[in-house]
Amino acid sequence: MADIKVWAMYFSPTGTTKKIVTQIANDVGAYMGVKINTLDFTPPMVRNEGQSFSQNDIVIFGVPVYAGRVPNILLKYLSTVVGGGAVAVPVVLYGNRNYDDSLIELRNILQNNGFKTIAAGAFVGEHSFSKTLGKNRPDEKDLKVAKDFAHEIANKIINGNIGNIPVKVRGEDPIRGYYQPRDRKGNSIDIRKVKPKTNNKCNNCGICVKVCPMGSINSENVSEVIGICIKCGACIKKCPQEAKYYDDKNYLYHKEELEQEFQRRAEPEIFL
């Protein structure tokens, strides 16, 4: 297996997707006897560069679930990634609510780009909006599932069990619309224009500017969000001073509803 390359490729503003994808890739790499390559397309500049794979590549490919789907801001970039006959394992991370049609959507994207999807997984990560929903997930139990999953993926590859049939996953096809948050009366809640604010604990360290996947925080004035905010939570969760916060009523209402409604522990699901 000398010229095989194993890749961890992910978009991961708050690090949960990175954690699972890296674990799976590391373990698949260990079974194959190779070190992994990493392609983190969270920084906006990386998504300006093309990426092509070939038959020797095995790509563990992860994105978080946004509104039950693949984050729509990634669709343009994802359509440019060339599979070239590489093996791919689509992986989604969701915040303990549901992954809806995101996994089937990611599988279809990869398959259409010329990857062979031989396995897939949906894992749980702490919700981008919350410190309690899916708190500290993925945890040890999730990592154990990821480890066993990697073993199964490696076995499939070593046994030459790679066909052209896309891995069967849970979800509907044709894919349903984006999940729509609603208030108690059933009216939809629109948080698209909401942006985080900054309090006076900020010491101008600049971390939020670096971690924003949209490049939207003004480096001259970090309290200013100059571009699109996708509510990814990176600037809030990674600020060492806890200086970033939301005060939008609709956003806070939706976050609290999610925290109350989805307290049960959702478990990872794998497909082989």
Ligand X SMILES: Cc1cc2nc3c(=O)[nH]c(=O)nc-3n(C[C@H](O)[C@H](O)[C@H](O)COP(=O)(O)O)c2cc1C
| 219 touches ligand SF4 by CB under 6 A | no
- For position 42 contacting ligand SF4 by CB under 6 A, the verdict is no
Task: Show Cβ contacts of residue 177 under 8 Å, excluding neighbours closer than 6 positions.
Answer: none
6, 7, 15, 216: which one binds ligand X (CB under 6 A): 15
Q: Which residues, 138 to 177, sit near ligand X by CB under 6 A?
A: none
Site membership for ligand SF4, residue 229 (CB under 6 A): yes
> Considering CB distances under 5 to 8 angstroms, the limit depending on partner class, which of ligand X, ligand SF4, none binds residue 241?
ligand SF4
- Give Cα separations from 31 to 60, 227, 231 (angstroms): 14, 43, 37
Q: Can you tell me which of 62, 64, 138, 196 binds ligand SF4, judged by CB under 6 A?
A: 196
Backbone torsions φ then ψ of 72, nearest 5 degrees: -65, -25
**Binding status of residue 96 toward ligand X by CB under 6 A:** yes
* Span of 29-37, 125-133, 160-168, 221-229 interacting with ligand X by CB under 6 A: 125-133
Out of 36, 65, 89, 119, the residue judged to bind ligand X by CB under 6 A: 65
The residue count for the chain: 272
Q: What is the DSSP string of 2-23?
A: TT-EEEEEE--TTSHHHHHHHH
Contacted by 205, from ligand SF4, ligand X, none: CB < 5 to 8 Å by type: ligand SF4
The site for ligand SF4 (CB under 6 A) is made up of: 13, 196, 198, 202-208, 211-212, 214, 216-217, 222, 225, 229-235, 239, 241, 243-244
